[in-house]
Amino acid sequence: MIDILPAIDLIGGKCVRLSQGDYERRTEYDARPDEMVRMYADAGVSRIHVVDLDGAKAGMPKNLGVLEKIASLGLVAIEWGGGIKDDVALRDAFNAGADYAIAGSVAVKKPDMMKRWLQLHGGDKVILGADLRDGKVAVSGWLEDSSMTVERIIDEYLPCGLTQVICTDISKDGMLAGPAVDLYVGLREKYPEIIFTVSGGISSMADIVKLDELGLPRVIVGKAIYENRISLKEIEHYIAKQ
């Protein structure tokens, strides 16, 4: 069964969602991050996906106080990304309570550092974040494009212990128009040893059911929850069936 990872995106300590990664097209929500974590845990969720959007833009973590607060609840495992671009940032994220760290820009710009992190912490702790715009990996909070394809970047780190990849199709993110199914099916077939997380475009439980039927192991759900396209009760029932 597919694992459902609710997303919490942070700007100024508040929950927000962007459309196609555009900081100017953001929606701010009233719910506090710790309230959201409690609700997700009550629904049976065991892992959440949190992105420090301020950190991604600034190049260093900016919402570690929020991470400490939600980690102190001890309710869910936390994968944390945004601004983890050097050893200090990685250490601070783990010290603040992150169970997993997402590395995106580092994987593109500092391959030696990424390889060292994988060797030091293992692929079970360091996750590759590959966010795609027009087939190429975007970095620095999606504000900068690179020439790297997701296949090229996976090939680079597979021998170093890479086991987990979160792949976001930026064109789908926050648009509630369905995920890029063919992208993920193709990646899973090419790299069966990698645990891929689907990210971007989830609009309903039907999307999740389809991904589950296709054998994809994880999915991140964000805006669909905040916009009441998917209820926590639906998530709870789906998890309980497992």
Catalytic residue chosen out of the listed positions 131, 169, 173, 207: 131
Phi, then psi, of 13 in degrees rounded to 5? 80, 0
Catalytic residue chosen out of the listed positions 9, 52, 54, 173: 9
Nearest C-alpha neighbor of 164 from the set 140, 190, 201, 129: 129
Tokens in use for 180? 């890029």
What is the dihedral sign for C-alpha 216, 129, 140, 146? negative
173 is catalytic: no
Burial grade of 236 (CB within 10 A; 0-12, 13-18, 19 or more)? middle
d(CA 176, CA 222): 10
131 is catalytic: yes
Task: Give, in order, the Cα–Cα distances in Å from 175 to each of 18, 25, 179, 240.
Answer: 9, 11, 10, 28
Nearest C-alpha neighbor of 123 from the set 102, 95, 93, 145: 102
Distant-in-sequence, close-in-space partners of 139: CB < 8 Å, separation ≥ 6: 104, 105, 108, 109, 131, 145, 146
How far does Cα 108 stand from its chain's mean position?
17
Q: Which residues are catalytic?
A: 9, 131
